[in-house]
Structure 1
Amino acid sequence: MSLDAMAEEIQNQTEDLPRLALEFKRNGRSIDASETIFTGSGDSYASALFAREISGWNARVEDPYELLNHPASTRGKVVVVISTSGKTRTNILLARKIARIARKTIAITSNADSPLARNSSETLVLRYRKAERLTAGTVSFTSSLLACASLMGRLPKIPLLQGTLEHAHQWAQRVRLSKNGSVLFVGTGLGHALAEYGACKVQEVLGIRADAVYSEQLGHARLFSVRPSKDLIVSVKPKSGRKARAVARSLSEHGSTVHTLEGSSINPVIWSIEVSFQLQMLAHTLARRRRMKECAFVADRSKLALSSSLIY
């Protein structure tokens, strides 16, 4: 079952991530953030947002299709294309189109023989154990975070992670979601990058509405579709997240169910791994509570086929 496979890959992170970080450190590859554009879709777009944050907003983030339509904007730049499969059609077309425009293209992928890798100047390979069944992305995402951190010269030593995973499981067990509720992730900075990932996991695993919104943007429009008695608000709050804290407090005072999600580390990369674990466990735990055995995207074969036709 795909939920069992998801649990397997979540657990594998405790061993695979420290090993992968050591591999990246040995390679010692880093680039100038001010000359770099990160791009990707889905989970990979969240990874790109993460890269921009740890670069101090020196690196750019762009949607791959928009970048494909404006190739001249990559002139003289290093373009980092994040794609776990390395088979996403738009990413491959982008790498080919900018081959003689960008300074170079770096693929971050788990497939060294993929079309994206073959059409890129360099490849940063994500080496981790994969479950035998198709499942929602977990270790693929956190591995991408490490790759981005490595390129930005911000990769720390990764500590023991089993305790972090157990804490994430305990946090997720305390969260409740009504039968017809949706989930809204709210965050600023790194919190928003991880909020985007959280929304992807809830959509893929549970098949329900989930959104990510910047703390500042919430009150302008999205707030008016929030149903306080049904919807779950998850505030993804970095330690410096005063805005996120204030928004969470206001929502709670007006009747919404708000859960605050925050890591304990002061290092932004380790903090992001901690929060990623919590988001993964949240989606998995809510699905198990609903007695699901398959991730929603796997169970709905029609939509899965449509998704593949749109992506590949």
Structure 2
Amino acid sequence: MRLSDYILHEINKVYDIVCKAISTELPKIKLRGGLAFGAGDSYASALTLQYLSNLKFYAVDPLCIIKNCRELCKCENDYIAFSYKGKTKNVVRAVKELRRYGCKVVAVTSEPASPLGQSANIIVKAAKTYEALPVGISSFIAMAAIAARMTGLSIDTYKLKDILNISRENEVTIENLRRSLTDVSEIIIVSNGVGIASGYYTCLKFHEALCMPCRVYPYEELLHAVLFSVRKNSLMIFFIEDINEVRYLSNLLTNEGIPYTYVVSKNDEFSKFLTYVIKGLRILHEFVKAFGLDKPCFMERRKILEATTPMIYY
């Protein structure tokens, strides 16, 4: 399957994946708040939990857990570990360290029999999905939807279907694009709240698919310093609630010749999150078509890929 076709195919699976998460019976546990951790897409899932829980949970790197485990376990925190296949070494190591000091850990994974599943106290099973290419989309949605469920958020499937249809059908419009998407050499995503989680995930997909630099910033951070580092070959993507946030900057960006696009959503937090993710993937799809890629760029980086894979996964 070509990469461009794969992205659209995965977007079309989102509704069913979310519905599976809605129907999943969660363990009867009372979560007070604490730390969530993962790596890659799983860290993006932890970030999603952070914002959907209104900061009751905070997303951290698993190495942070490992280094500070003794002190962390003196606090009455809940710990949630994300790993879709349950094979990320440092996530599993962090869980084992937490258990060693007497902490209880909830694991979100599609594989209960995985090293992560066997290490945690409680397992929350994410929906299993087949992905034809190693660019996680439906697997990420499966974890993020479970994160939403764990916060107690209700998910309106009728509204969800409308949002997904609009996100899929609307064309991607990029302002100030002088020539072609192939002239863009960097992505800068600007957002707030749950849009930061959507932006982080979107950046990961640009890294994987195009090997393109991508960074994500809160809107306020953009105004303080980041704006001065934006070049004309950068594309700025705004995930925002208020169109005025872009209007204030549009003249400046136009005068500087900086291309930008934006996604506006005023829905509930989970719907907003999904809107940003789907539109981010649609933008990625346009880039993949422009570059004519059949498969993710990172798969060509064999020397790096083969060296790092055993370091990351069991």
Q: TM-score range by the shorter chain?
A: 0.7 to 0.9
Alignment correspondent of 2:270: 269
Q: Residue 199 of structure 1: CA displacement? A: 0.8
Q: 2:55 aligns with which of 54, 57, 61?
A: 57
- State how 1:100-119 maps to structure 2 within 5 Å: 100-101=100-101, 103-119=103-119
- State how 1:216-255 maps to structure 2 within 5 Å: 216-228=220-232, 230-238=233-241, 246=248, 250-252=252-254, 254-255=256-257
Say if 2:173 and 2:261, in contact at 8 Å, map to a contact too. Answer: no
Say if 2:186 and 2:212, in contact at 8 Å, map to a contact too. Answer: yes
Structure-2-length-normalised TM-score? 0.87
Q: Residue 128 of structure 1: CA displacement? A: 3.5
Which shows bigger deviation, 172-181 or 145-154? Answer: 172-181
Q: Residue 220 of structure 1: CA displacement? A: 4.2
Cα distance in 1 between the residues matched to 2:122 and 2:81? 10
- State how 1:125-274 maps to structure 2 within 5 Å: 125-131=125-131, 133-159=132-158, 163-171=162-170, 173-175=172-174, 177-228=181-232, 230-238=233-241, 246=248, 250-252=252-254, 254-263=256-265, 266-274=267-275
Say if 1:29 and 1:150, in contact at 8 Å, map to a contact too. Answer: no
Say if 2:184 and 2:235, in contact at 8 Å, map to a contact too. Answer: no
Write the deviation string for residues 269-290 of structure 1: whole angstroms up to 9, x where unpaired.
1221122111122212310222
Give yes or no for the alignment of 1:82 onto 2:85: no
Which shows bigger deviation, 244-253 or 297-306? Answer: 244-253
Q: Residue 178 of structure 1: CA displacement? A: 4.0
Q: Residue 294 of structure 1: CA displacement? A: 0.2
Q: What's the C-alpha RMSD, in Å, of the aligned pairs?
A: 2.5
Say if 2:95 and 2:105, in contact at 8 Å, map to a contact too. Answer: yes
Alignment coverage as a number of residue pairs: 305
Say if 2:27 and 2:124, in contact at 8 Å, map to a contact too. Answer: no
**2:36 partner SS:** strand
Say if 1:99 and 1:105, in contact at 8 Å, map to a contact too. Answer: yes
Instruction: Give the counterpart letter for 1:258 in structure 2.
Output: Y
**1:98 partner SS:** helix
* Structure 1 unpaired stretches of 5+: none
Alignment correspondent of 2:310: 309
Write the deviation string for residues 119-173 of structure 1: whole angstroms up to 9, x where unpaired.
0011111114213x33211111221121111111113233375554443344454
Alignment correspondent of 1:292: 293
Cα distance in 2 between the residues matched to 1:82 and 1:245? 37
Cα distance in 2 between the residues matched to 1:283 and 1:92? 31
Q: Residue 302 of structure 1: CA displacement? A: 2.3
Q: Residue 49 of structure 1: CA displacement? A: 1.8
In structure 2, relative to structure 1, the CA distance for the partners of 1:116 and 1:172 (3 Å cut) is farther
Say if 2:182 and 2:287, in contact at 8 Å, map to a contact too. Answer: no
Say if 1:188 and 1:244, in contact at 8 Å, map to a contact too. Answer: no
**1:208 partner SS:** coil
Cα distance in 2 between the residues matched to 1:227 and 1:263? 27
Structure-1-length-normalised TM-score? 0.87
In structure 2, relative to structure 1, the CA distance for the partners of 1:249 and 1:212 (3 Å cut) is farther
Which shows bigger deviation, 191-200 or 8-17? Answer: 8-17
Cα distance in 2 between the residues matched to 1:242 and 1:55? 27
